[in-house]
Copies of this chain bind each other. A is one copy, B any other.
Amino acid sequence: MSHKTALFVGRFQPFHKGHLSVVKYLAFHYEKVVIGIGSAEDNYLPKNPFTAGERYEMIHRALEEEELNLSKIAIIPVRNINNYALWVRHVELMLPKFDVVYTGSSIVKRLFKDDRKYKVEEVKKKIMTSATKVRRKILECEKWEDLLPPATKNYLLSIKGDKRIRKIN
């Protein structure tokens, strides 16, 4: 295990099994894991239906259910700023120190690479694009429940997140 801290950046709209498998991998290979909830102040939008607090609950409950060691995992919302090239520094200022960045977003990957201070690992697109798929399935009333960790699915239903997705589109 590395004595390093991995940052996993995503929007988690919603947190799904693909995300969970990344967190499990990171929790196994790194001393500490920081999960940065991006676009934290976006919500009630077709691509960003859930608030940062709701996404915190979705992630936390899934990790608890999975019995991951929560004492080494931090979950922290990070808001967007309009000036993209400032965003890497903004993230550095708002989060505890990290060494490696994992992300499924090509723009986030590019920004951290151009900054040259961090090793950047791209999470396989196949996994990461499925949040879009989850939202689409919910919107079209297809079966989506198996794509989320059970605890996350239950939380989403408890806040009527499926209805919300259908109403705001």
A167 beta carbon closer than 8 Å to chain B:
yes
A53 to chain B, nearest CB (A): 5
Q: What residues of chain B lie closer than 8 Å to A52, measured between beta carbons?
A: 93-95
Main secondary structure of the interface of A (DSSP, over half): helix
A106 to chain B, nearest CB (A): 6
A107 vs B168: C-alpha distance when bound (angstroms) = 5
Determine, out of A10-18, A22-30, A81-89, A144-152, the stretch whose residues face the partner at the interface.
A81-89
Given A110-B168, A167-B106, A168-B110: A43 and B94 within 8 A (CB)? no
Which residues of chain A from 10 to 53 have any CB-CB distance to chain B below 8 Å in the complex? 40-45, 51-53
Which residues on A are within 8 Å of B, measured CB to CB?
40-45, 51-53, 56-57, 60, 69-72, 74-77, 79, 82-86, 89-90, 92-97, 106-107, 109-111, 114, 164, 167-168
